[in-house]
């Protein structure tokens, strides 16, 4: 069996849905399980619903109306008004309305998961309905009856034994199956979600449990490139990558495939393909067992808008284990993601991501105990398989504030020109 995953950009409008249906028909007309994300930017739209539910209830009807109109506008180009899919979609909106009216829980993460799941449920109903409309038989199912997790809402952990048992028992491997990414359910049948890159992870879970032939992630790029084309004008398609290389690149911040997606399929040596839904005839990238990186060239990863922090003791004493342990605990407490570490006898430097805007609180707490030097709005470049010309290319982008080099990887913090 093959596993396909289509993200939100691939189903953002009616023409995109038709394109996905064409790919499924041509590439996976039988024994294929298709994981589909919420359409376009609908996850963001449902997050707006959640925000209004908590903070601006007067805006809630407009937010819900926008989502309903978005989906029904797409449906109007794909279906007749009498098609069954309209009833299925109306049932989902009814369930969402019922939850919003009856919920009494104030637990944000729980509420988030119960609402956000409707993006995936709606998109898969529409994709499944359109396939049936054009004569492509398929089975739609609710993934929450297959993937079971703990109750850690928004970042749930999979119960692998139960999930594998349910998937092998329920999935008809002789047909096209359409299901949702990102969402799951706990033992009380409440919706949970799988965290960052959850839809890719869903594909990995099904592939592992079914010992799939392959997993294909369909994206709007030709495959895995050696650099982000939005940052670098000259990029090269990497035709083959090992699991280990893909995990290394993801660790440093490349939007390749998240490690938690790779881990289950690597255990069974299931190839992962990254292909273009824009040009589906192109081969794309294969991630598989081995040490190959073809072509063998420098790969660039950039993280923008970082903060470089250098911390030293007020009395110029050594920065040793107890100091560093304390600092790391505070970085964790304030949800500051560390992307680079460097220390000397009297200073400790970190390049961090201030995603949750808690850096100022961190700085205020440590400022009385340490001397702190801060450089904001810097860029962190990571070069895998670097050479001299690759380092020179990055150093020409601004003032180099810190460089760290090991055998395979160079990291350079740049203050942009």
Give binding residues for substrate as ranges. Answer: 43, 120
Q: Which residues are annotated binding-site positions?
A: 5-8, 43, 120, 230
List, in order, residues 6 or more apart from 157 with CB less than 8 Å away. 149, 150
Q: Which of 351, 350, 357 is nearest to 335 (CA)?
A: 357
**Cis geometry, peptide bond prior to residue 295 (ω within 30 degrees of 0):** yes
Q: Which residues are annotated binding-site positions for ATP?
A: 5-8, 230
Helix (H, G, I), strand (E, B) or coil at 114: helix
CA distance 251 to 355: 17
Helices assigned H by DSSP within 281-377: 321-333, 359-366
Torsion of CA 144, 150, 156, 162, to 10 degrees: -50
CA end-to-end distance (rounded Å), the chain? 51
Lookup result for tokens 């961090």:
352
SS3 content of the chain, % helix, strand, coil (to 5): 40, 25, 35
The pairing of strands 347-353 and 337-343 is antiparallel
User: Which DSSP state fits 64?
Assistant: H
Helices assigned H by DSSP within 255-370: 259-267, 321-333, 359-366
Helix (H) or strand (E) holding 38: none
CA distance 279 to 68: 30
Tokens linked to 261:
């997606």
Tokens linked to 238:
């990497």
User: Which DSSP state fits 157?
Assistant: P
* CA atoms within 13 A of residue 206's CA, in its CB half-sphere: 37
The pairing of strands 409-416 and 398-405 is antiparallel
Lookup result for tokens 């380092």:
391
Tokens linked to 359:
């850096």
């Amino acid at each position: 069996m093959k596993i396909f995953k289509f993200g939100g950009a691939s189903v953002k409008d009616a023409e995109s849905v038709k394109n996905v249906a064409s790919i499924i028909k041509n590439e996976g007309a039988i024994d294929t399980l298709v994981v589909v994300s919420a359409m376009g930017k609908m996850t963001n739209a449902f997050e707006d619903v959640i925000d209004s539910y908590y903070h601006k209830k007067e805006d809630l009807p407009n937010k819900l109306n926008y989502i309903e109109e978005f989906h029904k506008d797409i449906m109007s180009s794909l279906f007749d008004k009498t098609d069954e899919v309209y009833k299925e979609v109306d049932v989902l909106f009814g369930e969402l309305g019922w939850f919003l009216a009856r919920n009494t829980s104030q637990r944000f993460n729980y509420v988030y998961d119960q609402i956000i799941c409707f993006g995936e449920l709606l998109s898969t109903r529409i994709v499944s309905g359109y396939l049936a409309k054009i004569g492509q038989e398929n089975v739609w199912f609710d993934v929450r009856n297959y993937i079971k997790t703990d109750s850690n809402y928004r970042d749930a952990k999979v119960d692998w034994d139960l999930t594998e048992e349910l998937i092998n028992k329920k999935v008809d491997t002789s047909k096209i199956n359409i299901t949702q990414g990102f969402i799951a359910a706990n033992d009380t049948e409440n919706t949970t979600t799988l965290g960052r890159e959850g839809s890719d992870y869903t594909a990995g879970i099904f592939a592992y449990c079914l010992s799939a032939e392959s997993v294909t992630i369909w994206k709007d790029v030709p495959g895995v490139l050696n650099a982000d084309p939005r940052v670098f004008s000259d990029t090269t398609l990497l035709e083959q990558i090992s699991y280990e290389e893909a995990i290394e690149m993801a660790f440093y911040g490349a939007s390749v495939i998240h490690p938690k997606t790779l881990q289950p399929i690597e255990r069974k040596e299931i190839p992962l393909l990254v292909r273009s839904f824009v040009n589906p005839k192109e081969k794309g990238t294969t991630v598989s067992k081995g040490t190959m990186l073809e072509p063998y060239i420098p790969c660039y990863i950039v993280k923008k808008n970082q903060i470089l922090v250098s911390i030293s003791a007020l009395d110029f004493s050594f920065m040793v284990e107890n100091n560093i342990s304390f600092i790391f605990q505070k970085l964790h407490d304030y949800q500051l993601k560390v992307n680079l570490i460097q220390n000397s006898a009297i200073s400790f430097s970190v390049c961090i991501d201030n995603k949750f805007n808690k850096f100022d609180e961190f700085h205020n707490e440590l400022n009385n105990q340490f001397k702190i030097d801060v450089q904001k709005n810097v860029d962190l470049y990571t070069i895998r398989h670097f050479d001299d010309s690759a380092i020179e290319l990055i150093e020409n982008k601004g003032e180099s504030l810190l460089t760290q080099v090991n055998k395979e990887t160079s990291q350079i913090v740049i203050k942009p020109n």
